[in-house]
Amino acid sequence: MKKYDWKIFGVGAVVASLALAACGASASLDSGISSLSGSQYLQVHISATYSGAQAAQVTPILSQLSYNLSEASTTGQSLSQSVGNIDTEVDVNVGSQTLVTLRGIGKDLYFEVNLQALSSFPSLGLSTQKLAALELLFDNRWFDVPESLLTSLEPASTITKAQTSKEQALAQKLIKAVTAVIEGNTYTTLPDGGYSQTGTLASFVDAVLPTLEQIEGHSIPHPKVPGTYTIGVTMSGSNATGGSISVTAPDGTSGNATIGLSATVAHATVAIATPSGATVVTKSLIEELEGQATSAASGSVSASAT
């Protein structure tokens, strides 16, 4: 994964903001969207919620998980003026601990794993002994994955430039179809600043089905998709401070289930540092670690069984 692909996290976090920019509130929202990349630094915190029949099983997990996205321009200019010169960090958090940290700096990908964070999930069945054995291999160690290794691990591609252009054109059509739905729906102005919109999931299916049929090359039976969506963006003056999206649909039993994502936005002056003493990952090291991890896990299981 190249570090530029990580912008997907940011797009997902502020998807509500981007979508609502197509509404009748576009004048002020355009300013809010611009504010996201108008600074040299950006931090986004993402969390999820769930309600429904399986809440007892799902909520304890989702309530522990959250994600942080940080971006920092290396040119001293705003992020929007520094494409190709942006360092990125993504953190996967479990409660107050960080499970995985990914950093894209220059052309390299760095990562650090804190397996102890998994102890918050007893249902995973990871014994104390197994965690301890795996921690000896991975914990408190930064790993550096050079771009050359990432490139060598990618499968050979025979996709032509024409095929890529066609796929990009179809993706743009899907985006335009979704945007048209949002643009056609009304929105509500929030009392504390920002906007909200609710619509049906069926309206999205109706909009994207023609493009999906074009992609598949044949007609597709029109599915019935019950449920609604709600998207929103919060603002302070002309600056976007957060976004949210939730989907409510039948849960397959006797009621509805709702899953939601919410994001808060900040622009603190936080640079993304290159980890010191990182272990450079090579193909041989990957094979060695895989063998050691398998051996350590098997050994700890045997020890705990005796």
b vs e for 169-186, b when ≥16 Cβ sit within 10 Å of the residue's Cβ?
Answer: eeeebeeebbbebbeebe
Letter for the amino acid at 150?
Answer: L
Range of the domain at 84: 3-107+146-157+233-241+249-275
Domain presence at residue 102: yes
pLDDT digits (tens, 9 = 90+) for 121-173: 766 666 666 666 666 666 678 999 888 887 776 665 555 666 667 777 887 78
Which of 110-114, 130-134, 203-207, 219-223 has the lowest average pLDDT?
130-134
User: Can you give the pLDDT at residue 26?
Assistant: 53
Most confident by average pLDDT, 7-11, 96-100, 235-239:
96-100
User: Can you give the pLDDT at residue 302?
Assistant: 44
Q: Is the pLDDT of residue 22 over 50?
A: no
Which of 34-43, 84-93, 149-158, 277-286 has the lowest average pLDDT?
149-158
Domain presence at residue 127: no
Q: Is the pLDDT of residue 305 over 60?
A: no
Domain presence at residue 94: yes
Domain presence at residue 62: yes
Distance, in Å, from the CA atom of 22 to the CA atom of 255, rounded to the nearest integer, reads: 32
Q: Is the pLDDT of residue 43 over 90?
A: yes
Domain presence at residue 227: no
Average pLDDT, integer, range 98-112: 91
Q: Is the pLDDT of residue 107 over 70?
A: yes
Domain presence at residue 67: yes
User: Can you give the pLDDT at residue 20?
Assistant: 45
User: Can you give the pLDDT at residue 110?
Assistant: 94
Domain presence at residue 268: yes
Q: Is the pLDDT of residue 18 over 90?
A: no
Q: In 3D, which of 2, 4, 83, 78 has the Cα closest to residue 42?
A: 78
Q: How many domains does the chain have?
A: 1
Domain presence at residue 54: yes
Average pLDDT, integer, range 210-229: 87
User: Can you give the pLDDT at residue 227?
Assistant: 93
3-state SS, the chain, equals CCHHHHHHHHHHHCHHHHHHCCCCCHHHHHHHHHHHCCCCEEEEEEEEEEECCCHHHHHHHHCCEEEEEEEEECCCCCHHHCCCCEEEEEEEEECCEEEEEEEEECCEEEEEECHHHHHHCHHHCCCHHHHHHHHHHHECCEEEECHHHHHHHCCCCCCCHHHHHHHHHHHHHHHHHHHHHHHHCCCEECCCCEEEEEEEHHHHHHHHHHHHHHHHCCCCCCCCCCCEEEEEEEEECCEEEEEEEEEEEECCCCCEEEEEEEEEEECCCCCCCCCCCCEECCHHHHHHHHHHHHHHHHHHHHHHHC
Most confident by average pLDDT, 64-78, 190-204, 249-263:
64-78
Which residues are CB-neighbours of 280 under 8 A, at least 6 positions away?
143, 144, 146
- Averaged confidence pLDDT in the chain: 78
